[in-house]
């Protein structure tokens, strides 16, 4: 019997636990702290991002973890691509000193990506083998981007300190 070109998404207890874990993680990174008086929430992501190089690297790796889990749960390539664009936007804006940290407060890539994952779980579209290949390429590309941005950030700090 030939193997099917599609596999059903995981809609079981394990995927529910993964989703709960990712919700908690995105909350801590993007919405954990209420700003008194204005009703807006921020997370640790912009604060972590203040650490030159290392902060953006840490935050970027956590964001990539969300994409890895989404791929594991069978999210199709189109949705993974949107998740990747959310991270790409956050990482590229994060390379701009100070402005990038303010952008992190507004953009909230992790919350956006968990929302995309939740939409997929509510209305699953089976993924294909090509989606899995796309996920691998996307994750490798995002890792390269995050490492490159962190390296540029560290080089910039080094240059500033030498002035």
**Contacts within 8 Å (CB) and 24+ apart, 123-127:** 124/8, 124/9, 124/11, 124/74, 125/9, 125/76, 126/6, 126/7, 126/8, 126/9, 126/74, 126/76, 127/6, 127/7, 127/9, 127/74, 127/75, 127/76, 127/77
* For residue 103, pLDDT beyond 70: yes
The count of other CB atoms within 10 Å of the CB of residue 68 is: 15
Task: Report if residue 29 sits inside a domain.
Answer: yes
The count of other CB atoms within 10 Å of the CB of residue 64 is: 21
- Give 46-82 pLDDT, tens digit per residue: 888 888 768 888 999 999 999 999 999 989 999 999 9
pLDDT band at 128 (very low <50, low <70, confident <90, very high): confident
Domain hosting residue 66, numbered range: 11-162
Average pLDDT value for the chain:
87
Task: Report if residue 6 sits inside a domain.
Answer: no
Task: Report if residue 115 sits inside a domain.
Answer: yes
Task: Report if residue 130 sits inside a domain.
Answer: yes
Return the pLDDT at 90.
92
Return the pLDDT at 11.
59
How far apart are the C-alpha atoms of 71 and 74, rounded to whole Å? 5
How far apart are the C-alpha atoms of 48 and 104, rounded to whole Å? 10
Task: Report if residue 5 sits inside a domain.
Answer: no
Q: 52: number of CA atoms within 13 Å, CB side?
A: 12
* For residue 1, pLDDT beyond 60: no
Number of domains observed in the structure of the chain: 1
Task: Report if residue 1 sits inside a domain.
Answer: no
Task: Report if residue 146 sits inside a domain.
Answer: yes
Percentage of the chain exceeding pLDDT 70: 93
Query: pTM for this structure?
Result: 0.85
pLDDT band at 137 (very low <50, low <70, confident <90, very high): very high
């Amino acid at each position: 019997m030939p193997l099917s070109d599609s596999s059903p998404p995981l809609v079981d207890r394990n995927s529910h636990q993964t989703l709960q874990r990712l919700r908690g993680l995105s909350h801590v990174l993007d919405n954990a702290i209420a700003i008194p008086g204005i009703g807006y929430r921020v997370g640790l992501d912009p604060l972590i991002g203040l650490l030159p190089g290392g902060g953006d690297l840490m935050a970027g790796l956590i964001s990539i973890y969300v994409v890895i889990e989404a791929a594991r749960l069978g999210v199709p390539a189109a949705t993974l691509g949107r998740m990747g664009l959310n991270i790409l936007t956050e990482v590229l804006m994060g390379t701009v000193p100070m402005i990038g940290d303010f952008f992190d407060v507004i953009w909230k890539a992790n919350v956006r990506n968990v929302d995309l994952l939740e939409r997929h779980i509510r209305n699953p579209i089976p993924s294909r083998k090509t989606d899995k290949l796309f996920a691998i390429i996307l994750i490798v590309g995002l890792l390269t981007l995050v490492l490159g941005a962190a390296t540029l950030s560290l080089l910039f700090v080094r240059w500033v300190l030498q002035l």
